[in-house]
Amino acid sequence: MHYRIFPNFIKDAVFPPCRVGIAVGLLLALIGSGVSASLPPTSTLSAEPHHDQTLKYVNYFIERYHYRKTRLDDPLSSRILDRYLDALDANRIYFLAADIESFETLRFELDDYLGSHNTDPLFAVFNRYRDRVIERIDYALGRLNQPFDFSANETYPFDRAEAPWAIDGAALDDLWRRRVKNDYLILKLEGKPHEEIVGTLRDRYQQQKRRILQISNQDVFQTILNAYMSAIEPHTGYFSPRATENFKIRMSLSLEGIGAVLQSQNEFTVVQRVVPGGPAEVEGSLRAGDRIVGVGQGDGDPVVDVIGWRLDDVVDLIRGPKGSIVRLQIRPDPKTGKSESRILALTRDQIKLEEQAAQSMLLEVSGPDQIQRIGVIDIPTFYVDFDARSRGDADYRSTTRDVRRLIRDLEREGVDGLIVDLRGNGGGALAEATALTGLFIDSGPVVQVRDARGRTSVNRDPNKGIAYAGPLAVIVDRNSASASEIFSGAIQDYRRGIIIGEPTYGKGTVQNLINLDPYSEDQEQPLGQLKLTIAQFFRINGESTQHRGVVPDFVLPGVEPDLPYGEKALDNALPFAQIDAAAFSRFTDSELDLQRLREAHDKRVLEDPDFTYLAGLKELDQVLTRSGEVSLLESQRKAERDQRETTQQRIFETLKTAHGVSDDSDEPLEDLPRDAVLLESARILTDLSIGDFDDRLVVQLVKKDAAPLPSAAKDHNAVGQ
């Protein structure tokens, strides 16, 4: 591939296994904000002039550079239609069978339309969809005024992905009657009175109506392109200009704004929390729950009323260059009892998203004879500030740089072993996975990459030397993907450390970002970016992680229900493949006594109260996931709820007893269950480092800014603005 003709390629990217959101938090998540008493008339959405340009370049790059040689033909046309309908109405609760039949005329024609850069038929499908959504919401709002019979023995089918389309409006009315009845019953079982239930549901449905009416031409176009892309391969996708900006923020872990996480509640933009160290925290008067009702720029521009606006439109107004001023009209949280609004002027600054950065903690593992100090580095994503790096900034932000610093800090604490925690890490930059591996090996290959022409290159450790040479463990789970699999696979192949957890996601493909903006005929109109699968990566042993993932040396019980997951569960995913192994020397030629390690580990897991508790919850969840419907008979639902709550309480009381915790003890109950996987990983690493296998090892936290012991939850939320 001749990358050089496209200077705007990011040439070392892998990226997480998200499908850019076939509906991009848009047609699925956008159905959920608020609506005022009077709504604007519904206008027909249609393609904008720059959309045909965008589609022209998308077709060009896919045809010439996608790893899977693809033609825009009738078979692909058929898959695109199916993907698009899934994006709009995956649960089959809006369209009628007659709608679907009318769309069938497009099944083998979409290739011709898209090939000529024409999206009009797909916009027409969306307009029909939007009309159906509004019809259903209006029906739901009207149904709230009628009584429900909760003594009738009927069910609500919440999973209709494979169900037939409703034959007519009466069938949809019956389905939605039961849907509203289920929504009502959930709140009724929580003890809410009738008036409060009706008010809550009315707000919820009106919120959905507002969101569907706020969807823009660009939103629909993005959904169309992602249906097209995912019909080829699940990790190829399109970022609109707005989505491009958000992607850059996630990768660089920084933005220029005020430092507040925002969310949409009904017609208001509400402050969810204030980011530490940002301008809003420094100024000191912005609080969680405050409502932003107006935004002005600088000292003199008028304040624009933003009540009823889409959240991302409000965010666009608040974000801005470092050093500039934004004025916010703030209405206090109604719970405070205050009603007077105020104007808050803030000077924008660079916000560091530290909660997405690598972080460390220190554990002590105590046995009968000795204490081992185990360092833990949690890496939520493989990030790098591409723009700063390309500018030549000496201090650009990256995963490898942060981890190197954390290793130095932990070694000053005197650690006997190190755990790298990659649970939930969906990937990121390929170069970072390669460089991070290099911190733990002296030199050598890390990953092999085969391009669309079948040529294989080897990505090697970019720097000689080892940042940490001691005992090492890597924790993974089913959501560890892409760059996480490159790192953990290399550590396993080199015998540099042990891998612990669940088999990983199984994403073994490489994506590059192509900036389409330079090709725009109107430089004032950005076109967005294409995320294109251009290669497949292979471990240095020659095996792909595609479909199979990385299988840990120690497989720990997972906490999620046993359902299809990962790459193997995605439509149109590339198959597993294998190539020749690369030449490399293992970190050690000695075989680990894994059998003895596993015996000690297995004994501990069987007796560990946290694992027992998690297994009990998993068994409860399995019951819920096996059924695609719920009863609407109030007595039955109440009995099922009571039985579940009783079982949950019983296994939690067992956990409390095992840890010697009572309701009046000093230890906070929210710290239970502890992070069983992390604590057992520390025990396994201790067994490995001291060469002695002891089932009586006790783990405690000795250094961290948060809870007394790691709990089972991991929160890696991104900042909203």
* Residues 555, 560, 563: CA angle, nearest 5 degrees: 95
Three-class SS state of 347: strand
List the beta bridge partners of residue 429.
Answer: 13
DSSP string computed for 70-128: ---SHHHHHHHHHHHHHHHHTT-SS-BHHHHHHHGGGTTTHHHHHHTT--HHHHHHHHH
What does residue 340 show for φ and ψ, rounded to 5 degrees?
Answer: -75, 130
Largest CA distance in the chain: 76
What is the residue whose two structure tokens read 């009046």?
664
Distance in angstroms (rounded) separating the CA atoms of residues 688 and 425: 25
Four-residue CA torsion sign, 324, 329, 335, 337: positive
**Mapped to the 3 state alphabet, what secondary structure does 598-609 carry?**
HHHHHHHHHHCH
Q: Which of 101, 105, 180, 103 is nearest to 136 (CA)?
A: 180
Identity at 211, one-letter amino acid code: R
The packing angle between helices 430-438 and 483-493, to 10°, is 30
The pair phi, psi for residue 304, each rounded to 5°, is: -90, 130
Please tell me the distance from the alpha carbon of residue 378 to that of residue 338, in angstroms, as a whole number.
Answer: 41
Q: Chain-centre distance of CA 555, in angstroms? A: 24
Residues annotated as catalytic are 482, 493, 507
Q: Is 407 exposed, middle or buried (0-12, 13-18, 19+ CB in 10 A)?
A: buried
Alpha carbon of residue 78 to chain centroid: 28
- Which residues are CB-contacts of 135 (< 8 A; sequence separation ≥ 6)? none
- According to DSSP, the β-strands at 371-378 and 529-538 are unpaired
Estimate the crossing angle of helix 399-413 against helix 430-438, to 10 degrees.
Answer: 30
H or E stretch including 644?
helix 634-658
Q: Report which DSSP code applies to 677.
A: H
Rounded to whole angstroms, the Cα distance separating 679 from 691 reads: 18
> What does the angle CA 30 – CA 32 – CA 34 come to, to the nearest 5 degrees?
115
Distance CA 184, CA 672 (A): 32
DSSP strand pairing (529-538 vs 445-451): antiparallel
Q: How many CB atoms lie within 10 A of CB 569?
A: 13
